[in-house]
């Protein structure tokens, strides 16, 4: 089993920045692709960003492209989501997820999920 723990969420004003972190247990972190998903209140969970196991390729939802950056540090078993120029529509619970594949990373069929961290952006 892989356990994921998110941190870094909070309340921020529009235009501000936050950096989310997700730390994974286990020694095989480098074998997993990592993704970030979010669920706005009253809506379905949606894809935000993903990075392949090696960190060589990244993918972003159109709604966050140019504002968010996903990265990983395999030595620390940690994936990050740097969020800049935050907007009220970014308000959601953000989930970290891992998948033992480098394909289909924009879809929600991941193997493991964290508990989520709340991000609230005020206008």
pLDDT band at 2 (very low <50, low <70, confident <90, very high): confident
DSSP the chain: ---EEEE--EEEETT--EEEEEEE-SS-GGGSEEEEEEE-TTS--EEEEEE-TTS--EEE-TTTTTTEEEEEEGGGTEEEEEE-S--GGG-EEEEEEEES-SS-TTSS--SEE---EEEEEE-
pLDDT band at 29 (very low <50, low <70, confident <90, very high): confident
Instruction: Determine the average pLDDT of the residues in 33-52.
Output: 97
Q: What is the pLDDT of residues 107-121, one digit of tens each?
A: 999 999 999 999 999
pLDDT band at 64 (very low <50, low <70, confident <90, very high): very high
Q: For residue 30, is pLDDT > 90?
A: no
């Amino acid at each position: 089993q892989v356990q994921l723990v998110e941190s870094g969420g909070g309340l921020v004003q529009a235009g501000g920045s936050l950096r989310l972190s997700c730390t994974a247990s286990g020694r095989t972190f480098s074998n997993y692709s990592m993704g970030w998903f979010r669920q706005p209140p009253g809506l379905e969970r949606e894809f935000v960003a993903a990075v392949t196991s090696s960190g060589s390729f990244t993918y972003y939802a159109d709604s966050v492209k140019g504002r968010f950056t996903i990265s990983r540090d395999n030595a620390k078993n940690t994936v990050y989501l740097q969020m800049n120029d935050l907007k009220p529509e970014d308000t959601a619970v953000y989930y970290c997820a891992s998948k033992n594949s480098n394909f289909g990373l924009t879809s929600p069929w991941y193997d493991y999920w964290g508990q989520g961290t709340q991000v609230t952006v005020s206008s």
